[in-house]
Amino acid sequence: MTFIEFKKLLLDAEITLPKFSKLIKVSEKNLQSYKKKGEVPNAIAVIAVCFAAMHQSGMDYRSMVDALRLKAKVKKGAGFAKTRKKESSD
């Protein structure tokens, strides 16, 4: 799915990109990066299609997603670790 198609689905679901990112606990910056790539990942595309269809059917998808109590992923890895510097005992 192209980024433009994705944005149109968000309009159909009556949700903005910032609110979408908060709802599904994915950083807005991450979602914006798909604009450069031109495509969104399959999982994000499926979510957008479902949200649009649910909204058109009169379903409150926001409360359903909120009930999942999703948590944002914490960045892990070499560049993200919070470490204390060792004090040298010279």
Asked if the model's pLDDT at residue 86 lies above 60, the reply is: no
Residue 4, pLDDT score: 96
Q: Are 66 and 15 in contact (CB under 8 A)?
A: no
**For 12-54, what is each residue's pLDDT tens digit?**
999 999 999 999 999 999 999 999 999 999 999 999 999 999 9
Residue 55, pLDDT score: 97
User: Phi, psi (5° rounding) for residue 44?
Assistant: -70, -40
Asked if the model's pLDDT at residue 74 lies above 90, the reply is: no
Q: At 82, is the pLDDT very low, low, confident or very high (cuts 50, 70, 90)?
A: low
Verdict on whether the full-model pTM lies above 0.85: no
Residue that the structure tokens 């979602």 belong to = 31
* Spans of all domains in the chain: 3-67
